[in-house]
Amino acid sequence: MPGDVLVVAEHKDEDLKKVTLEMLGEGTRIAEKLGGVVEAALLGSDVGGVAEALAHYGAVRVYLADAPSLEKYSGEGYTTVLAGLIEKVVPAVVLLGATTQGKDLAPRVAARLGLGLASDCTAFEVAADGRLIITRPVYGGRAIATVMEKTTPQMATVRPNVMAPLEPDTSRTAPVEKLAVETGDIRARVIDLIQESGRQQVGLAEAEIIVSGGRGLKGPESFDLLEELADVLGAAVGASRAAVDAGWIDHSHQVGQTGRTVTPNLYIACGISGAVQHLAGMKTARYIVAINKDPDAPIFRVADYGIVGDLFEVVPILTEEFKRALQQKTCTATVVNERT
C-alpha cells in the first residue's frame, strides 16, 4: 500500500535482532505520517514463531517466506525473494538493518529493482510530499548528509542502537501471509557458520556497552583484562586496528573506518590514542570513557570521562568496583538513554 513501511526482519536463534525492533518503532512513526502501517518481511526456515514478536513490537502484518533454501542467508536467494515481495506489495519505504546481512542484501535488492538506497541512516523526517528526508553520517562521521531519494519505494539501511523501539505489547497480533518461495538458481551458498573460538562472541554492532582495547594493551593476553570487565558489564569487546594488525584479536572486533561502526550507550577505550580512523567508528557512542596514560591523547577530546593512568592498574580496579556495585545493586549495567 502507498503509505506502508516494510521492515526486513533479522533474527538469530529464534530471537529478533534489536535493530529490527528499532526499525519497527521508527517504521511505525514514519508510517503514521504517511497514512500507512508498518509491515515486516520475515525470511528463513522454520521461523514462523518469530512472527508473534514482530507483532508485539508494532508490525501489523507479517510476510513470511519460510523454506529450507532460506535457512542460511544467501545474497542471491534473499534478493530474489525480497525483491519479489517489494514488487508485490509496493510499500512507500523499505528499511533494513545496517548490519552485515543488511549491508549485503539492501544494495542487491536496490540494484535489482532499480531503486535508490541510503545506507547507515540515523534519522528520518517526512516531507510534505511524503518523501523521506534522510540523515546519514558521511566521511567517517565528520559530516552529516541529508538525502532524499527520487525512486519509490524509498530504501534505507538503519544504524543499530539509534532509533527507539516501541514498548512491547503482547496483546498486539498480526496476520501472517505466507509467500510462495521461489529463490531461483542460488550459485553461492553458505555451507556452515563457524563460531570464532577463544575470544568472546562479538555482537559489536548492537552492543549497548563496548570495552575496547588498542596498542596500549601491549599484547594479546591483555585482552583477558578487558574481557573480565566486559563480562561484569555484559559488554562486547572491541579493538583498534593496531591491535588487530598485531594479530592480538580477530578483525571482527575492529572498530573504525575499516572495521565496524558502533553506537553503544557506553564505549570504554583502553590504551587507544583516538586516531580519526578509530573515531570514525565510535564517536557517536552516547558516552565515551577513555583510559590512557598520555594526557594529550586525542581520544580525550571526544571523551565524556577521561582517566589519565595506566590501564593495567585502572581496568582491574574498574572491574572490581563494578562487580561490587552490581552485586550491591548500587548501579545497573544498563546505561540510561538520556543525559541527565
Give the footprint of ligand FAD on residues 297-316 (CB under 6 A). 297, 310-312
> Shortest Cβ distance from residue 298 to ligand FAD (Å)?
8
User: 108-111: long-range contacts (C-beta < 8 A, 24 or more apart)?
Assistant: 108/75, 108/78, 108/79, 109/79, 109/82, 109/83, 109/155, 110/155
| 242 part of the interface to ligand FAD, by CB under 6 A | yes
Q: Is residue 137 within the footprint of ligand FAD (CB under 6 A)?
A: no
Grid cell listed for 137? 553520517
Amino acid at 96: L
Of the two residues 38 and 297, which places its CB atom closer to ligand FAD in the complex? 297
**Which part of the chain contacts ligand FAD (CB under 6 A), choosing from 166-174, 175-183, 292-300, 326-334?**
292-300
Nearer to ligand FAD, 131 or 293 (CB): 293
Q: DSSP secondary structure string, 232-267? A: HHT-EEEE-HHHHHTTSS-GGGBBSTTSB----SEE
Q: Is 98 in the site for ligand FAD (CB under 6 A)?
A: no
251 counts as binding ligand FAD under rule CB under 6 A:
no
Cell output for 294: 598520555
Applying CB under 6 A, which part among 7-15, 145-153, 214-222, 228-236 lies near ligand FAD? 214-222
Rounded to the nearest 10 degrees, what angle do helices 100-113 and 75-89 cross at? 60
What three-state secondary structure class fits 18? helix
215 forms part of the interface with ligand FAD (CB under 6 A):
yes
Q: Could you please report the per-residue DSSP string of 37-82?
A: -EEEEEEESS-GGGHHHHHHTT-SEEEEEE-GGGSS--HHHHHHHH
* 221: DSSP letter: G
The smaller minimum CB distance to ligand FAD, of residues 215 and 323, is found at: 215
Q: Which of 28, 119, 261, 292 binds ligand FAD (CB under 6 A)?
A: 292
| Listed ranges 127-135, 150-158, 175-183, 265-273: which one lies at the site for ligand FAD (CB under 6 A) | 265-273
Is residue 163 within 8 A of residue 95, CB to CB? The reply is no
Contacts with ligand FAD by CB under 6 A lie at 214-216, 240-243, 254, 256-259, 271-273, 275, 277-278, 281, 291-294, 297, 310-312
